[in-house]
């Protein structure tokens, strides 16, 4: 069946470095993708989204890249800060049903 | 600050008890969702609703039930709690037209002893 998965369960980066979190999806019909950040004990928080008619979208310190050819999504965080430490989920919407399918999640650890 | 509220935040309850997890949103969103999440794991959709009097089961089978009598309110009920129901339950909502992602509540962490 369709799935959204992440390559690395844990990513450790030094403060000030750039972080790249990757995500693979298998449903070529997906037309909307979203990244969430979840801190311990909290609900997921929206970071950035992208629709399938785009291949790049930038926010404040974050960039999402979408490669539909290889069904790959990435989240880039510039100048990573300790406050960025959290679990990051990618999710996709597969068209008519307004439901998101979530991946496993990647834990980002920021070291000083 | 998200305008979606879940109560209680934490609940420890004995096996066999009936429980209701509350979820309310003040954004006027038509669509609401319940996800179940074990610690450090992915989110699994257990129920969703596209509007008043509309409820559907999600991708993960659940013994819980939901109701949607008012737009802003989407409670989840377990008639007889079991230890296997121990998990975090997250409620979310989204706008009716098109698809713009979800706003999540802070979750209810349920422990059944």
Summarised one tens digit per residue, pLDDT across range B21-38 is 999 999 999 999 999 998
First and final C-alpha spacing in chain B: 33
Q: How far is A43 from chain B (nearest CA, A)?
A: 4
| CB A33, CB B99: distance < 8 Å | no
Render each residue's pLDDT in chain B as its tens digit; 113 residues. Answer: 559 999 999 999 999 999 999 999 999 999 999 999 987 788 999 999 999 999 999 888 889 999 999 999 999 999 999 999 999 999 999 986 666 788 999 999 999 99
Q: What percent of chain B has pLDDT over 90?
A: 78
What residues of chain A score a pLDDT lower than 50? Answer: 1-3, 5-8
pLDDT digits (tens, 9 = 90+) for A67-99: 999 999 999 999 999 999 999 999 998 765 678
pLDDT for A100 equals: 87
Range 42-61 of B in CB contact (< 8 A) with A:
42-45, 48, 50, 58-59
Cβ-Cβ contacts under 8 Å for B12 (sequence gap 6 or more) = B111, B112, B113
pLDDT for A27 equals: 86
Residue A47 region by backbone torsions, left for phi larger than 0, else alpha for psi between -120 and 50, else beta: alpha
Rg (CA), chain A: 13
- B90–A102 CB contact, under 8 Å: no
Tokens of B63: 């013994």
CA angle B61, A21, A6 (to 5 degrees): 35
Q: How far is A38 from chain B (nearest CA, A)?
A: 10
Tell the burial category of B83 from Cβ atoms under 10 Å away from its Cβ (0-12, 13-18, 19+).
exposed
pLDDT for A95 equals: 61
Tell the burial category of B106 from Cβ atoms under 10 Å away from its Cβ (0-12, 13-18, 19+).
middle
SS3 A79: coil
Q: How far is B28 from chain A (nearest CA, A)?
A: 16
pLDDT for A7 equals: 46
Residues of B in contact with A90 (CB under 8 A): none
Alpha carbons A32 and A21: distance in angstroms, whole number: 18
H or E element in which residue A57 lies: strand A56-58
| CB B25, CB B32: distance < 8 Å | yes
Alpha carbons A91 and A35: distance in angstroms, whole number: 6
pLDDT for A4 equals: 53
């Amino acid at each position: 069946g369709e799935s959204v998965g992440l390559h690395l369960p844990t990513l450790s980066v030094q403060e000030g470095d750039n972080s790249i979190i990757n995500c693979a999806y298998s449903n070529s019909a997906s037309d909307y993708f979203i990244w969430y950040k979840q801190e311990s004990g909290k609900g997921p928080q929206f970071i950035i989204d992208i629709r399938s008619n785009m291949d790049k979208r930038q926010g404040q310190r974050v960039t999402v890249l979408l490669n539909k050819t290889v069904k790959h999504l990435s989240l880039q965080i510039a100048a990573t800060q300790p406050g960025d430490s959290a679990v990051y989920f990618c999710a996709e919407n597969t068209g008519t049903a307004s439901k998101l399918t979530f991946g496993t999640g990647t834990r980002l650890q920021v070291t000083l | 600050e998200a305008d979606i509220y879940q109560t209680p935040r934490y609940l420890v309850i004995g096996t066999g008890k009936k429980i209701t997890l509350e979820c309310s949103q003040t954004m006027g969103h038509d669509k609401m969702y319940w996800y179940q999440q074990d610690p450090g794991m992915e989110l699994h959709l257990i129920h969703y609703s596209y509007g008043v009097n509309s409820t559907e089961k999600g991708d993960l089978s659940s013994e819980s039930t939901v109701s949607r009598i008012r737009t802003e309110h989407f409670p989840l009920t377990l008639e007889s709690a079991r230890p296997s129901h121990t998990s975090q339950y997250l409620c979310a909502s989204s706008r009716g037209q098109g698809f713009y992602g979800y706003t999540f509540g802070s979750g209810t962490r349920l422990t059944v002893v």
